[in-house]
Structure formats: C-alpha cells, structure tokens
Amino acid sequence: MSIFDESIDTFLAPVKEYLADESVSEVLINGPKEIFIEKGGLLRRVQAQFQDEQALQAAVRNIAQFVGRKIDQDHPTLDARLPDGSRIAAVLPPCSRKGTTLSIRKFSKNVPSFADLLQRGTVSKEGARFLDVCVFLGKNLIISGGTGSGKTTLLNVLGSRVPGNQRLIVIEDSSELKIKTDHIVNFETKHPDAEGKGEVTIRDLVKSALRLRPDRIVVGEVRGPEALDLITAMNTGHGGSMGTVHANSPYDGLIRLETLAMMSEMQVPEQAMRRQISAAIQVVVQIKRLADGSRKITHISEVVPEVDAQGRYQLQHIFEWIQKGKSEDGKFIGELVPTGHLPSFFGEFEVNKIPLGRENFQPPAWYASLASKSRAA
Ligand SMILES: Nc1ncnc2c1ncn2[C@@H]1O[C@H](COP(=O)(O)OP(=O)(O)O)[C@@H](O)[C@H]1O
Ligand SMILES: [Mg+2]
C-alpha cells in the first residue's frame, strides 16, 4: 500500500520503490539529483534522481496540497504528517541551497516493545527491567538523545508500559507516538492559519491537559517553553510523566530542559529553576546512535533531588553502557550494565513486591577496569 494516493505517487516515481519497501525507514531528497535512504539504521545514497528541480517542486506542492497545506515562495517550509502517520518535511530554494529538500520518515506499522529493543541491542535485559519498574512506579522520566537516536521509539516502548488503569495524555507537535495503553488521549498542536490566527501550541495543550484529569502527561518532544509547564506538572502530582529532549548527555538533558523552561515569560531565577528541575525529574535515559548505525541506551541515571553546593545538578548513573570492543565488521560490542549504585527509591521495590534485589544492581566483575577505558574513548 502506498503512503500517498496515486496521483502523488506519479510525482514521486523516482523514489516510489523506496516508499514501498518496508525495510526503508527514511527517504531523504537533497535537491533533484541527490537521494539518500535509511535502511537498517544506516544511510546510503541511491542512484535515483528527479528529472529536474521543477519535477521535485511539483511533487512537494502536491504533497502539501494532499495534507491541506501550502508551500510556496511566501511559505517555503513544510512540516506535516500524512494520514498514515508518516512525517514529511520540506524546504524550498533559495532557503535550501541545492534545490528543494524533502524528507519522508515512514511510519512503521509495528509498535516496538522491550523485546524489540533487546533484540536490536539497544538495551540489556537488566536495563529494560529497571526502566519498566521506573515506569510502573510512576517516576518522572526524560529521554535525552540526538536527532534520530531513537527517543520517540523508546518513548513508545515506555509509554506502552504505563498501567492500563491510568489516564495518559499525550501531547505532540505532529502525531508520531503510537503508545499502546488502555486509557490514552492524544493531542496535536495546530498551525496558525494564513492570517496567523488560531495557533495552538504545546504549552496551550499542556495547560489544557492539566484540567482534564490526567494521571500522567507525555510530551513527545520538549523543545520550547512548555518545558516549564511539564516540570510544574511533574512537581504537582502527575508522577510518571515523560518527555524527550535533544541533548548529548544526561547532564546536558537537564541543562536543555532548564534553558527551554527559561524561555517562558515566567522569570524564575536560575537556582530556583534548578531546584525545581532536580525535584521534578527522577530519571534521565540517554540514548545514542552509534557510528555503526545501532542505537544504544548509554545511561540510565537518577537525578538527585537536590543541587550540589555549586548549584549543579547531581546525577547518579544506575546503568551505563560499556564498550568492550569492536567486531570485524565494525560493529560496536558492549553492554548496558549496572554501575553498583542502588536507586534511591530501592525501598519502594519491596513494598510493591518488585522482584528485583540488590544483586540486580551489582556490576559485572570487569566493570571497573573497562568503565574507565570506555569513558576515555
Ligand atoms: N532501538 C533502535 N534500533 C534501531 N533503529 C532504531 C531504534 N530506534 C529507532 N530506530 C530508527 O531510527 C529512526 C529514528 O527513530 P526515532 O525514534 O524517531 O528517533 P528520534 O525521536 O530520536 O529522532 C527511525 O527510522 C527508527 O526506525
Ligand atoms: Mg523523535
């Protein structure tokens, strides 16, 4: 089945085979003569080309029309979701220098599970069990990572573990998450109309969500002042809320949230903001796309609820990915292992009859020697 209708397929003929191929996750068009696809997590250039810039622009205009939007010289960018859930983004020249840029991120029908992440080597069994417990116990959690590192995918997996008797409100810029749970409400932002009116932002939706009796709130991507609303929600009894941020380490993830929260009109002093954030977020999960195309959870870290004497966030890594080597075909070999630090909420395990004991947080014998090397690398 095609993700577009037949008339658009005609315009997209040069990339049709990739759109139809389920193993291709993204199609990236950098002007008419340069096309890349992503397959198995790796990008590669393909021979296909559009006849010329006009042919490519015609395709993009038709896609825009298909989703009820406009792209032209006055509105040279487009970011939209197709009815099947695929995402498209486009920028026209002269903003885009090589000719029209178009990316199509295909919606994958399969809702991933922990088993898939295990099989892909993204998480270890122990790491998955711990994350599952964090979700079950209603810890507030953020997923931090770069673009395409697998944040949204991981959020799908974690969100789908929210107990079915809890009401989940999911807020996104353009619907992408496919969380499977019994009681879920999905919100999507709205673009302003041609006169610039009628815009509904993530902030608006977080505020509305709070009046709709959520148990938990999920913000697909935190990238603006809604960070403050999410932090406030987390601090006011909506435990188990989650979101993703764009950052390269757990610490940077917190700094990123802080920077975004500071963008709101509320003037909160930095130290007060840091205290709020340390109190709000209990767990940061860092995910990374490695050079071999694989995605790895590199840290599962607990946020100490107080800043240190210098006012800095304090993180305690509970799990850490340690690189052990590299295979002959260039794949990274490593493991996500416990660091030996018990989570501060370990006491809740017994009360909730969670079958994880202290021994589950013991690092392997080789941990200390490899950890220092791995970090230095
Ligand atoms: N754990 C994983 N292992 C392999 N590929 C993955 C994994 N998670 C996501 N991907 C692939 O990476 C791409 C980006 O994933 P996504 O979750 O949307 O990342 P992000 O939200 O960080 O931008 C998708 O094409 C997806 O199929
Ligand atoms: Mg994402």
Q: Which of 280, 219, 242, 230 is nearest to 141 (CA)?
A: 242
Model pLDDT for residues 359-372, shown as the tens digit of each residue: 999 999 999 888 87
CATH class in words for 6-105: alpha beta
Residues with Cβ < 8 Å from 52, sequence gap 6 or more? 32
Residue 161 has what DSSP assignment?
T
Mean of pLDDT over the chain? 93
Residues with Cβ < 8 Å from 119, sequence gap 6 or more? none
Q: From the CA of 123, which ligand is nearest?
A: 1
Tokens of 342: 């018990």
**What pLDDT score does 376 carry?**
61
Q: Atom 8 of ligand 1 has which residue's CA nearest to it?
A: 150
**What pLDDT score does 278 carry?**
97
Average pLDDT over residues 211-237: 94
Tokens of 290: 């490695």
Neighbours of 163 (CB within 10 A): 15
Q: Is 25 in the pocket of ligand 1 (CB under 6 A)?
A: yes
Q: Is 53 in the pocket of ligand 1 (CB under 6 A)?
A: no
**Are residues 164 and 183 in contact, defined by beta-carbon separation less than 8 angstroms?**
yes
Least confident interval from 1-15, 110-124, 221-235 = 1-15
**What pLDDT score does 104 carry?**
95
Q: Which of 133, 179, 183 is nearest to 300 (CA)?
A: 133
**What pLDDT score does 2 carry?**
67
pTM for this model (two decimals): 0.86
**Are residues 275 and 313 in contact, defined by beta-carbon separation less than 8 angstroms?**
no
Q: What is the C-alpha separation between 296 and 321, in angstroms, rounded?
A: 8
Residue 364 has what DSSP assignment?
P
What does the domain layout of the chain look like in residue ranges? 6-105, 114-376
Model pLDDT for residues 59-109, shown as the tens digit of each residue: 999 999 988 888 999 999 998 888 777 889 999 999 999 999 999 998 877
Model pLDDT for residues 19-53, shown as the tens digit of each residue: 989 889 999 999 999 999 998 778 999 999 999 99
Buried b / exposed e along 347-359 (16+ C-beta atoms within 10 A): eebeeeebebeee
Determine what percent of the chain falls in helix, strand and coil, rounding each to the nearest 5.
30, 25, 45
Q: What is the C-alpha separation between 234 and 229, in angstroms, rounded?
A: 9
Q: Is 156 in the pocket of ligand 1 (CB under 6 A)?
A: no
Which of 3.30.450.20, 3.40.50.300, 2.60.40.1930, 3.40.50.720 would CATH assign to domain 114-376? 3.40.50.300
Q: Ligand 2 mean position to 311 CA, how many Å?
A: 30
Helices (H), the chain: 6-11, 16-20, 53-66, 114-119, 125-136, 151-159, 202-210, 226-235, 250-262, 270-280, 347-351, 367-376
Position 299: which residue type? Answer: H
Per-residue HEC secondary structure of 245-280 comes to EECCCHHHHHHHHHHHHHCCCCCCCHHHHHHHHHHH
**What pLDDT score does 200 carry?**
96
Q: What is the C-alpha separation between 154 and 148, in angstroms, rounded?
A: 11
**What pLDDT score does 130 carry?**
97
Q: Ligand 2 mean position to 349 CA, how many Å?
A: 31
Q: Ligand 2 mean position to 369 CA, how many Å?
A: 35
Q: Is 282 in the pocket of ligand 1 (CB under 6 A)?
A: no
Tokens of 89: 């983004």
**What pLDDT score does 8 carry?**
77
For residue 91, CA distances in Å to 120, 195, 201, 299 come to 33, 21, 22, 35
**Are residues 32 and 53 in contact, defined by beta-carbon separation less than 8 angstroms?**
yes
What does the angle CA 18 – CA 20 – CA 21 come to, to the nearest 5 degrees? Answer: 65
**What pLDDT score does 194 carry?**
77
**What pLDDT score does 78 carry?**
94
**What pLDDT score does 248 carry?**
97
Model pLDDT for residues 265-285, shown as the tens digit of each residue: 888 899 999 999 999 999 999
Band of residue 377 on the pLDDT scale cut at 50, 70, 90: low
Average pLDDT over residues 194-206: 92
**Are residues 140 and 183 in contact, defined by beta-carbon separation less than 8 angstroms?**
no
Average pLDDT over residues 246-257: 98
Domain 6-105 identical in fold to domain 114-376: no
Tokens of 35: 């096309």
Band of residue 1 on the pLDDT scale cut at 50, 70, 90: low
Name the residue with higher pLDDT: 175 or 126: 126
Q: What is the C-alpha separation between 68 and 65, in angstroms, rounded?
A: 5
Tokens of 266: 């509320």
**What pLDDT score does 139 carry?**
98
Residue carrying structure tokens 């148990």: 215
Q: Ligand 2 mean position to 353 CA, how many Å?
A: 34
| Angle between helical axes of 270-280 and 250-262 (0-180°, round to 10) | 130
Position 269: which residue type? Answer: P
Which is the closest atom of ligand 1 to the Cα of 221?
21
